[in-house]
Amino acid sequence: MLAFLARRVLVAIPTVVLISMLVFGLQHLLPGDPILVMAGEERDPEVIALLREKYRMDDPIPVQYLAWIGNALTGDLGTSLRTQQPVLELIGEKLPVTLQLAFMALVVAICIGIPAGVISAYRKGTWVDWVANIVALSGLSVPNFWLGIMLILLVSVRLGWLPASGYAPFSDDPLRSIQVMAMPAVVLGTGLAATLMRHTRSAMLGVLRADYVRTARAKGLSERRVVIRHALRNALVPVVTVTTILFGELLAGAVLTEQIFTIPGFGKLVVDAVFNRDYAVVQGIVLCTGVAFVAMNILSDALYRILNPRMGDTA
């Protein structure tokens, strides 16, 4: 297992390097100059020169990149040009918020997607299968921002069941925190539920045709035991690995949802940083989310190997 993980990490290193280069290079293509924003309305040439020297903006881009990535390897992602707060500290404040949202969305997706996939596969060709597939297609097609706005209008404005926006730390008030994050989690979770449903259905269809399932039925086992204990247990192997990748996507893809519900997580932080031309914050957040996504892929490979030892050393 250690050799397997070592190979995966070695393969991931060039990917992380490429991500860092793209993050740093594309960031400098954005219009506007953060130094001019920091200099204020007067834009004193001496102040601008001092700021450019302080933040090494006059150095060639390759030199800036090497300095930035060198500091990043030591845990220093720079300082916010706007708030003068260390980027790593900002990420530490916002990461628990996005992690909570991602975890709750994943729970919603698992509770909806896996049972729907199992039922759809078991009832293949019936109206239940058709309805499940239509619902899954709808979940993949409906934009998150539209669903979020509709939920706010219905659940918060008209019915008054849940808060429309805001955030409450789970450690301070668990119930309030869950209430505030419930709608955003549903918005993100429905799309993921559709993906999980399709993967679960596909895996279950393959397993239900397997010889050991027919043998279990021939032994006289109840249909419920055959489906849940024998078929679902083996069908969940690829589903579990897909779930870890989806969790990585949640960490990187909750920008619109966090903006709609005013959740102070990674999404809102990166949008504010882009508008303020806060290069260091944008680079730090995107680099961290990219590394997290790569790490989730490695975890996915490891879980697949644990759940399916027949992969052997060729994986």
Burial 41-72 (b: 16+ CB within 10 A, else e): eeeeeeebeebeeebeeeeeeeebbeebbeeb
* pLDDT tens per residue, range 13-72: 888 888 888 888 777 776 666 666 666 666 677 777 777 777 677 777 788 888 888 888
Indicate whether 308 pLDDT > 80: no
Q: Which of 247, 270, 267, 248 is nearest to 257 (CA)?
A: 267
- The whole-model pTM stands at 0.78
Question: Could you tell me if 79 and 280 are in contact, meaning their C-beta atoms sit under 8 angstroms apart?
Answer: yes
CA distance 277 to 32: 7
* pLDDT tens per residue, range 142-166: 887 788 888 888 888 888 888 888 7
Q: Which of 43, 54, 98 is nearest to 78 (CA)?
A: 54
* pLDDT tens per residue, range 98-144: 888 888 998 998 888 888 888 888 888 888 888 888 887 777 778 87
Label residue 308 left, alpha or beta by phi (over 0 means left) and psi (-120 to 50 means alpha). beta
**Percent of the chain whose predicted confidence (pLDDT) is above 70:** 90
Average pLDDT, the chain: 80
Q: Which domains does the chain have, with CATH numbers?
A: 93-314 (1.10.3720.10)
Place of tokens 């399916």: 308
List of residues 6+ apart from 138 with CB closer than 8 A: 194
Q: How confident is the model at residue 227 (pLDDT cuts 50, 70, 90)?
A: confident
**Percent of the chain whose predicted confidence (pLDDT) is above 90:** 1
